[in-house]
Amino acid sequence: MVFARSGISDPSKRSESTLAGQEKARRSLDSERRSVQYSKSNSPTNEEMKPKIVHLLEGRSAVEAEPLVQLLMRQLAHKYQFASIRIGTLSSPLEARPPSELSVQLVERRPGLDWRCSRRLAFLLQREKVDLVHAHQSAALFFGLFARLQCVQVKMLCTEHVRPHPDYPSPRRAAMNRVLLESRDRVVAASLSVRQALILNEGLLPEQVGVIYNGVPKPAYQNRADVQATRTKLGIGSNGFLILQAAPFDLWQNHSLAIQAMEQVVREIPEVRLVLVGEGPELGTIRTMVSRSNLEPYVTFLGAQPEGDSLLRAADLVLSTSIGKAVTSRLIQALAVGCPVVATRDGAVAEIVEDRVSGFLVGPGDYGALAEMIVRLGSSSALREQFGLQGRRRALRMFSEQETSDCYAKIYQAMLSR
């Protein structure tokens, strides 16, 4: 059979040509696939392409910093890689309890001035290809700044959560800050009072220090039955007045002032109960003071309790008698659940609790005024409700986790884009 010349070849030859073409295409496709697989295995993943931020903590700074570290890791993980470096001893219990889901590495620090610690830290920052170090507290910043002398590409952000008490100016620290801090670095204070201390005692310029309050989680819902169950478990009757004070038993929390005030409060409100949560070196002293004042029926020691809102929701009032290191997160949580506060004016307390709006503030050591304000709130459920409503509004407006994470996200973006 003869085929006309129409551009169509012999069928047998056409079949052979087609098979050959398919085989060639298959080999080409396999080659491309291997090339793509090789490229993928040797190219950075989406996670690796994110800027890397390391939270740097030293010693007890982990206590104040861990809630913020957890918050930022949770809220900003879609934008950044996070890791944590702890500076301390291998036996430190704080370093043995890292934040969950966070890569943690320990840089050992020996007692005294350990300059090798900064060299070890610099090596680790270089190895991990860190873009930004977020130091928590001045001590961690100190090691970070000296490590950067060997790791120049790293930017430094420091959050100062609290200040030591007593807090004095240090010309030596001020000089080091002026020399080592660069224009690309940022410092954040967790309150206006901390910011003022950084300016006066650390020699920082006002324009170098911003303020971002540490937000607290939105309180979980609890119905009235759950609240009543908590009060019943504590032995609080239907007419009982429950005062909650949650703070470590140390000299700075000044629990003795609360006991002195209670001696007067019980005369006016026989149904009052002070519940003390926490542990510490002064616990035995306070127990003895309660016994000598015959206040055992009015004071309950609960010891350390897990974090949660159940006690706060069950309380009629939250008390703080600090003279140096108020547990401000607990006060913010109290406002968030609508519980009024009576506290001594200490550091950032006046920034959190508006006097005569969401609670009462008294002078440090003034147990007479403290007792008077407790009795005033204990005698008026309407006033407690009014203060609680104002406090809840303030907490949602100023101290939310979302507000905190949004502010830090803006700082991260600004620093990493420079």
Structure tokens at 157: 């952000």
% of the chain at pLDDT higher than 70: 83
pLDDT band per the 50, 70, 90 thresholds, residue 138: very high
pLDDT band per the 50, 70, 90 thresholds, residue 129: very high
pLDDT band per the 50, 70, 90 thresholds, residue 112: low
The pLDDT assigned to 27 comes to 55
- Asked if the model's pLDDT at residue 115 lies above 80, the reply is no
Q: What would the pLDDT profile of 381-400 be if each residue is shown by its tens digit?
A: 999 999 999 999 999 999 99
Which DSSP string do the residues of 49-108 spell out, in sequence order?
Answer: HSPEEEEEEETTHHHHHHHHHHHHHHHHTTT-EEEEEEEE-TT-TTTTSPPTTSEEEEEE
Structure tokens at 231: 């009060």
% of the chain at pLDDT higher than 90: 67
Q: What would the pLDDT profile of 161-182 be if each residue is shown by its tens digit?
A: 988 888 899 999 999 999 999 9
- Asked if the model's pLDDT at residue 33 lies above 80, the reply is no
- Asked if the model's pLDDT at residue 373 lies above 90, the reply is yes
- What is the distance between the alpha carbons of residues 352 and 347, in angstroms, rounded to a whole number? 10
Answer for the pair 371, 264: CB distance below 8 angstroms, yes or no.
yes
- Asked if the model's pLDDT at residue 220 lies above 90, the reply is no
- Asked if the model's pLDDT at residue 319 lies above 80, the reply is yes
Using DSSP bridges, classify how beta strands 209-211 and 186-189 pair: parallel, antiparallel or unpaired.
parallel
The pLDDT assigned to 328 comes to 84
Q: What does the mean pLDDT of the chain come to?
A: 86
User: Helix-strand-coil percent breakdown of the chain, rounded to 5?
Assistant: 50, 15, 35
- Asked if the model's pLDDT at residue 282 lies above 80, the reply is yes
Q: Which domains are assigned to the chain?
A: 47-215+402-416 (3.40.50.2000), 224-399 (3.40.50.2000)
- What is the distance between the alpha carbons of residues 137 and 57, in angstroms, rounded to a whole number? 8
Q: What is the mean pLDDT of residues 205-219?
A: 92
The pLDDT assigned to 2 comes to 33
The 10 Å Cβ neighbour count of residue 248 is 18
Answer for the pair 109, 89: CB distance below 8 angstroms, yes or no.
yes
Q: What is the mean pLDDT of residues 128-140?
A: 94
Q: What would the pLDDT profile of 251-270 be if each residue is shown by its tens digit?
A: 989 999 999 999 999 999 99
- Asked if the model's pLDDT at residue 228 lies above 60, the reply is yes
The pLDDT assigned to 272 comes to 97
The pLDDT assigned to 91 comes to 52
The pLDDT assigned to 418 comes to 80
The pLDDT assigned to 238 comes to 85
Greater model confidence, 155 or 30: 155
Q: What is the mean pLDDT of residues 297-309?
A: 86
- What is the distance between the alpha carbons of residues 30 and 341, in angstroms, rounded to a whole number? 71
Torsion of CA 160, 162, 166, 168, to 10 degrees: 10
Q: What is the pTM of this model?
A: 0.79
The pLDDT assigned to 4 comes to 36
Cα distances (angstroms) measured from residue 106 to each of 3, 40, 58, 73, 93: 83, 32, 10, 19, 12
Answer for the pair 247, 322: CB distance below 8 angstroms, yes or no.
yes
Torsion of CA 363, 369, 371, 375, to 10 degrees: -120
Greater model confidence, 14 or 110: 110
- What is the distance between the alpha carbons of residues 244 and 312, in angstroms, rounded to a whole number? 7
Instruction: Find the range with the poorest average confidence among 28-42, 130-144, 215-229, 326-340.
Output: 28-42
Instruction: Find the range with the poorest average confidence among 124-128, 270-274, 365-369.
Output: 124-128
Q: What would the pLDDT profile of 286-296 be if each residue is shown by its tens digit?
A: 999 999 999 99
The pLDDT assigned to 7 comes to 39
The pLDDT assigned to 308 comes to 63
Greater model confidence, 7 or 186: 186
Greater model confidence, 47 or 71: 71
Instruction: Find the range with the poorest average confidence among 163-167, 190-194, 313-317.
Output: 163-167
Q: What would the pLDDT profile of 322-348 be if each residue is shown by its tens digit?
A: 987 777 888 999 999 999 999 999 888
